[in-house]
Amino acid sequence: MTTETKFFADATLAGLARWLRLLGYDTVCFQGKAGRPLMRQAAVEGRILLTRRRDLMERQYSGRLLLLPGTSAVKQLSFVLGKLSLEIQVQNLYTLCLTCNQKLISLERQSVRDLVPEYVFEHCTEYTQCPECRKIFWPGTHQRNALQFLKDRGIAVKNAETLQIMF
């Protein structure tokens, strides 16, 4: 499976949704109550439904549904990755806005001169921006921290050593 795998998470899974986005998985978080509309929308969009609501398992549903254990976002993440045999690819990390789930777009270095801290501008050549919230991202310590965090919890990231950390 590739990052074509898309998810639809119920409102109680916001933490997990952010992790999935960080890894490059398109994940919509449903803001309403879990139930029929949630299931319908997930099926229409071809997304795997992630929920903690056991009763949804008993309903008739044409799409794929995963019932998640516990309340820890990281444990839920391991569960999803394991169940679907997903391999995390380092080049997919931080390709989506963690908040908006929008694909980040590349920016010219010159265009961010007045928008990022000076020390960042001096060290980084690659920038991306969320088309929705306009937040600007650059390769930084948060990526290394995320990789370390995953590694410490036994979640492997393929080709992690190839990630270019500027500072």
Q: Which residues bind Zn ion (CB under 5 A)?
A: 97, 99-100, 130, 132-133
Q: Cβ of residue 24: shortest distance to Zn ion, in angstroms? A: 15
d(CA 71, CA 63): 24
Q: Cβ of residue 97: shortest distance to Zn ion, in angstroms? A: 3
Cβ nearer to Zn ion, comparing 136 with 166: 136
Cβ nearer to Zn ion, comparing 44 with 105: 105
Cβ nearer to Zn ion, comparing 14 with 133: 133
Give the Å distances, CA to CA, from 96 to 24, 65, 102, 152.
Answer: 6, 23, 5, 23
Q: Cβ of residue 3: shortest distance to Zn ion, in angstroms? A: 18
